[in-house]
Amino acid sequence: MLGSLPLVYWYVSLHGVSVLILTITSYVVYAQTDAHHRSAFVAYLLFGCCWLAAAVAQLFAGSPEVTSALSLAADAFGLFSVAAIGYFATVYTDRSTSLRKPQNAAWLAWVVLGTAGIVTQPLLGLQYESTTYREEPFAYLAIEPGPAYLLSVAVTMVVLAVSIGYLARLFVESHHRPSSSVVVLVGATVLSLVPNALSTQTVVPVLPGYDYTVLGIVPLGVVLAYVVFFRGELDLAPMARNEVVDEIDDALFGLDDAERIIDYNAAARAVLPPDTGDPVGMPLTALLSELEPYLRNPDGTDDALATYTTVTDGTRTHYSVSVSTISERGVVAGYTVILRDVTASETARRELRRQNDQLESFASTVAHDLRNPLQVADGTTTLLAERLRSGGETTPAADHLDRVDEAVSRMDAVLGELQTLAEHAQSVTETESVAFAETVRDCWRTATAGEMTLIVPADGTIEAEPNRLENILESLFRRSADGGGATVRVGLTAGGFTYTDDGLDIPTDRGRAVFAYDPMTGVDEVGLGLKIVRTQAESQGWTVTAEPSDGGTTFVVSGAETTLSENATEVWS
């Protein structure tokens, strides 16, 4: 027969070791500074420690009253511990804690009613049906569960089942995490309920009526801590499976805030290096180092776009990279990285750039090669005309040479326009804020508009590529100078600018065909200049149209970003 002293020490040692295990587990979990909701989990463990401490204190109470009070305190800590694990599972899996959710309201009601049952035990006797203070084999309190106690046990089983279900769902919904974690969680939960079942059924003959329920927190707490925070499967920011689907063709990665892989879909596997095992828990940049600049980019925005190129088995593949942040109550909890195969469009874009470069090179070469003989022809015709007129008489031959000289000059001008058109056919990738009135004035002087008057009714800035904006204005100014008008009005608008010439009369009824180059068109009508104007405008994302005005024509440029100022009308001449 065991003596009372060794047996009580055995119980004290069992509870003491349990407290030590939970305390160490709490410290190790709290030391994981990058772990999500570690404070809620540590609260669960610390309530368990208090529960165990109250159970140990009962063994040294020495009186029925103190023992009964400590037993009620232990029940309260047990109630709070179960409530804490329910709260942790809810927030960790990113579910709402709003009391508008029926399950949340029911849990809170259970905590309130359970606490009320414990507090009112001396008056109503709802927590314990009866209690017996026994002194053999050592002093302890034998209890007969009351309705409040049994209700708490039933709700505790529901809370644990739902909590473990929340956590297990993260594994079930992922095809890339081992299902063994679900088995471990369920096994630990069942094991944690065994001590309570033994107590409720009073099947332990050594201490009849003794409550062993508190011992169940140790296996559940330790296993949860291991699976959630140390096995590397739930210590990452949770993500619903519908955010990472295998059925789509794009490669998707879910990352936590430390850029470690939470989950990935089937298409993402093809992007990873061939010798990569299970990438869950590994930093994405350790596998695809080229993506590091894109993950560093978001700088306060939700999305960052870029292009990522890989070469696999000699085949070059281009991906568009989209990085989106995952926010958890205002805090960045992770990222979603989407890689979309854009090889076809990227290849077409590069081919177009190559063709544009070839066109520009061809135009420059042709212009250079043709200008030399044109300069020779221009000089020769001028010299011959001067010699024919050296006697002071005008001859038909000299007049013919003048017309040849004009044709040569026109050919030289067309070559210049063709070269400009080829150089500015590509879209603009960078713009800057340009002072509009100042640019208009400088282009006006460069174009030598003669005796015409320039009016700038509104000033401000416009987002543009400066050289192309200047070319547009100079082309229009030169056309106005050739048209013989008296006034040109250039005004900044909310979405671009307008250019009105009271002497320029072109067939605006032809719509956009006005800007189409017709080699049969005469020099004094449309010509190549307006084609250049349209090309340079569209290369910046603008639209240009021609409209009739009083005695002239108005060109309307729209689609630009402008900022209007309150400057008065400026007149230049």
Asked whether residue 264 falls in the same domain as residue 222, the answer is no
Q: Is the pTM of this model over 0.75?
A: no
Q: 144 and 182, same structural domain?
A: yes
User: 108: closest CA among 128, 90, 126, 124?
Assistant: 90
The tokens of 39 are what?
């404070």
- CA 453/CA 431 separation, integer angstroms: 30
Q: Is 382 in the same domain as 263?
A: no
Within a domain: 261: yes
Task: Say if residue 447 is in the same domain as residue 518.
Answer: yes
35 vs 139: CA distance, rounded Å? 43
CATH number at residue 355: 1.10.287
| Nearest Cα residue to 55 out of 135, 136, 134, 141 | 141
Structure tokens, 120: 């009112």
**Looking at the structure, do residues 131 and 278 belong to the same domain, yes or no?**
no
Q: How far is CA 155 from CA 103, 130, 198, in A?
A: 12, 21, 18
Give residue 490's pLDDT. 92
Q: Is residue 140 part of a domain?
A: yes
Task: Answer yes or no: do 506 and 523 share one domain.
Answer: yes
Residue 202, in any domain of the structure: yes
DSSP state of 427: P
Roughly how many angstroms between the first and final C-alpha of the chain, as a whole number?
A: 121
**Dihedrals φ, ψ of 273, to 5°?**
-55, 145
The 3-class SS string of 165-216 reads HHHHHHHHCCCCCCCHHHHHHHHHHHHHHHHHHHHHHCCCCCCCCCCCHHHH
DSSP summary character for residue 249: S
* CATH code at position 97: 1.20.1070
- Note the pLDDT of residue 242: 47
Residue 572 in 3-state DSSP?
strand
The amino acid at residue 11 is Y
How far apart (Å, rounded) are the C-alpha atoms in residues 57 and 60?
A: 5
The confidence score (pLDDT) of residue 24 equals 92
- The structure tokens listed for 338 are 């989407």
- String of DSSP letters for 34-82: TSTTHHHHHHHHHHHHHHHHHHHHHTT--SHHHHHHHHHHHHHHHHHHH
Q: Does one domain contain both 28 and 140?
A: yes
3-state helix/strand/coil string of 484-525: CCCEEEEEEECCEEEEEECCCCCCHHHHHHHHCCCCCCCCCC
Same-domain check for residues 222 and 253:
no
121 and 195 inside one domain: yes
Task: Give a yes or no: residue 505 inside a domain.
Answer: yes
Residue 442 covered by a domain: yes
Residue 404's pLDDT is 74
Of 189, 199, 202, give the one whose Cα is nearest residue 157.
189
**Do residue 468 and residue 445 come from a single domain?**
yes
Q: Please tell me what DSSP assigns to residue 226.
A: I
Burial class (CB in 10 A: 0-12, 13-18, 19+), 201: exposed
Beta-sheet strands, E only, within 365-481: 432-435, 453-456, 460-464
Q: Where does a domain end: 196, 230, 264? A: 230
232: alpha, beta or left? (left if phi > 0; alpha if psi -120 to 50): left
The residue from 290, 312, 341 where one domain ends is: 341
Do 158 and 50 belong to one domain? yes
| pLDDT of amino acid 527 | 53
In a domain, 238, yes or no: no
Query: Which is it for strands 303-312 and 261-264: parallel, antiparallel or unpaired?
Result: unpaired
> Can you give the pLDDT at residue 207?
66
Given the structure tokens 């359970």, which residue do they identify? 114
Residues 269 and 313 in one domain: yes
Compute the distance between CA of residue 357 and CA of residue 423 in angstroms, rounded to an integer. Answer: 8
Tell me which residue has tokens 């026994």.
134
| HSE of 519, CA atoms in CB hemisphere, 13 A | 3
Residue at 480: amino acid letter: S
Separation of alpha carbons 47 and 402, rounded Å: 105
Per-residue model confidence as pLDDT tens for the chain (573 residues):
344 446 777 778 888 888 899 899 888 888 877 677 888 889 989 998 998 888 888 888 878 888 889 889 988 998 999 899 889 888 887 787 888 888 888 888 988 998 998 999 888 888 888 888 887 777 778 888 889 888 888 888 888 888 888 877 766 665 555 566 677 777 877 877 777 677 666 555 566 667 777 788 888 888 888 877 776 544 444 444 444 455 667 888 888 878 888 778 878 887 888 788 878 888 888 888 878 777 776 544 344 445 667 766 567 777 878 888 777 656 777 888 888 877 777 676 676 666 666 666 656 666 666 666 766 677 777 777 777 777 666 667 766 667 777 766 666 666 665 566 555 555 556 788 999 999 998 888 877 656 788 888 878 899 998 888 888 898 888 888 877 778 889 999 988 999 998 876 666 555 455 665 554 444 444 455 677 788 888 888 898 888 887 768 889 999 999 988 866 556 655
Q: What is the CATH number of the domain that holds 440?
A: 3.30.565.10
Count of the separate structural domains present in the chain: 4
Residue 88, domain extent: 4-230
- Residue 498's closest CA among 472, 531, 524? 472
pLDDT computed for residue 239 by the predictor: 46
